Structure 1
Amino acid sequence: MARAWRQSKNRIVKNVFCFGCLFIVPLLVLAVVVYSKSKSAEALSLPVEFSSTKTDGLLQKLFYLIVLIMSDPTKSATRKAIRETWLSNNHEDVKHLFVVGSKGLAQDVLQNILEENSSHHDMVILDSINESYNSLTGKILAGFQWLHANHNFSFLLKCDDDSFVRMSPLIEELHKQPQNHLYWGFFKGGSSVFQKGKWKENDWFLCDTYLPYALGGGYVLSSDLVEFIAINALLLQQYKSEDVSVGVWLSPLKIHRVHDVRFDTEFKSRGCYNEYLITHKQSANEMREKHANLTKTGKLCQSELRVRYSYNYNWTVLPSKCCKNFDPELP
């Protein structure tokens, strides 16, 4: 009798447990699904940011500014002049790098740049890039990708090896600029698209003129914009002019475009003004002369000189009308 009662009791407990499972297990599954969906919704609602955290190897050091200088493998004398002039004053949180392409180089030229880099440790040698005008945009893109993958930094100054930069004033002014989403330089808008010669744009179809862009003798990008370009590199159309290409790549973005007349970065220098932060189209001798002037007198120019007029970019009108008001009062 007692045995029969215990068996009956066990059957009742088992049935109650199973009956409970029919309700409890689905409720637990439902709770997990709801929680998972809520976490997914929470993740999707977060704002998308360009920046990422880099923690290994070289990436541990944060540089405030990296100066990326586009150079030709054969121009070792020019690089020497730059190191001895406007790069000669060291800034602890600034790093400079000369970018050269090595694809198809003669063996002696390749050996020379390898030895130069062994001595100075300041060159990025891109073995996928050959040096020609047609490869300039690819070189910029590869340089941005390499930089994003290998260094942690706040800002990038891109310039050419025929540009003279006043580093200390530029860094001082950079601290006054927006610290995110910054595109700072001398902007041009409404320029006619080249239809012939080495500048001919075979792939251009966007509009009748170029989009606004900062001229390539020197411009500054915050790291978030460099990252945006680097991670989207495979999707970006490359045009003949690297500065035009950068302007196109950044054109849809809501960023700070800062036009600055102290960037003398056009295809031809506008002259010499003590206010200039960057002066384009300078020979090695002209760099040495400007550096000597700064060392002796604290001024860039022995005497200020105007060759061409400047303008303030008018952001309130279409690009075709942006840059017509040349102002003799501007440097």
Structure 2
Amino acid sequence: MPKRRERRDIVRMAYALQPQPPAGVARVDVRFVFCNVTDPVDAALLALEIQHHADVLVLNCTENMNDGKTYAYLSSVPRIFASSPYDYVMKTDDDTYLRVAPLAEELRGKPRDDVYLGYGYPMPFMHGMGYVVSWDVASWVATAGEILERNDTMGPEDLMVGKWLKPRRQGEEPLRPQTQNVRP
């Protein structure tokens, strides 16, 4: 939430103190994502934070937890970072602590397309700490409006992402989550 500036500073410090992935292995950017900030004081303070840290994205949506924010995020990333695409996009919460270098190492041997990776049980979706999709999956979410509209973008977001990916390959075997229980 925009009001949690102190929490974001703690998260920034926690990631700054970690060993970074070796040069050339991975480029990892940690960003905080918000929907439209409607409170004028929060908007002003967040604008200063953006100038100072350059790690905040503000999307055109209503701030929420299970009402489309994940869809807004995954569908916006390919457009926002079109000039320098990533191999993977991750969604996680601010109360999740990730060890960035081991996560980068885990992803290093993974394919760069058709990947949906995270922590889960034998189900069609990831849950909990977060999940990673390859860039092509995020790009597909950005352009698959008709399929996603039929499958809705609202509800428990972890479940929704799994539901969206099911029809990804119409007529083919759906994208299968790689439930390797990654615990970076």
- Name the TM tier (shorter chain): 0.7 to 0.9
Pairing partner for 1:183 from 111, 116, 124 = 116
5 Å-filtered alignment, 1:206-245, equals 212-233=124-145, 235-236=147-148, 237-245=152-160
Aligned partner letter, 1:258: Q
- Structure of greater Rg: 1
* Whole-angstrom distance in 1 between the partners of 2:63 and 2:131: 21
SS at match of 1:153: coil
Contact 1:141 1:233 in 2 (8 A): no
Residue ranges of structure 2 left out of the alignment (5+ in a row) = 169-173
* Whole-angstrom distance in 2 between the partners of 1:145 and 1:231: 8
2:52 is the alignment partner of 1:119 = yes
Alpha-carbon shift at residue 189 of structure 1 (Å): 5.2
Alpha-carbon shift at residue 110 of structure 1 (Å): 1.2
Match of 2:171 in 1: none
Alpha-carbon shift at residue 95 of structure 1 (Å): 1.8
TM-score, normalization: structure 2?
0.82
Q: Deviations over 1:104-126 (max 9, x none)?
A: x2211111111111100111012
Match of 1:140 in 2: 70
5 Å-filtered alignment, 1:58-207, equals 72-89=1-18, 90=20, 93-103=27-37, 105-126=38-59, 128-135=60-67, 138-151=68-81, 152-188=85-121
Aligned partner letter, 1:146: S
Contact 2:154 2:160 in 1 (8 A): yes
SS at match of 2:15: coil
* Whole-angstrom distance in 2 between the partners of 1:77 and 1:172: 30
* Whole-angstrom distance in 1 between the partners of 2:134 and 2:120: 16
Aligned partner letter, 2:12: R
TM-score, normalization: structure 1?
0.47
Alpha-carbon shift at residue 177 of structure 1 (Å): 2.0
Alpha-carbon shift at residue 216 of structure 1 (Å): 4.4
* Whole-angstrom distance in 2 between the partners of 1:244 and 1:102: 24
Match of 2:181 in 1: 261
* Whole-angstrom distance in 1 between the partners of 2:105 and 2:66: 35
Match of 1:252 in 2: 167
* Whole-angstrom distance in 1 between the partners of 2:147 and 2:179: 27
Could you list the structure 1 runs, at least 4 aligned residues long, displaced by more than 3 angstroms after superposition.
Answer: 87-92
Q: How many residues align?
A: 168
SS at match of 1:161: coil
Alpha-carbon shift at residue 256 of structure 1 (Å): 4.5
Greater per-residue strand proportion: 1
SS at match of 2:52: helix
SS at match of 1:94: coil
Alpha-carbon shift at residue 184 of structure 1 (Å): 0.6
Higher relative contact order (CA 8 A, sep 6+): 2
Residue ranges of structure 1 left out of the alignment (5+ in a row) = 1-71, 191-211, 263-275, 278-331
Change (3 A) 1:156 1:87: farther
Contact 2:88 2:134 in 1 (8 A): yes
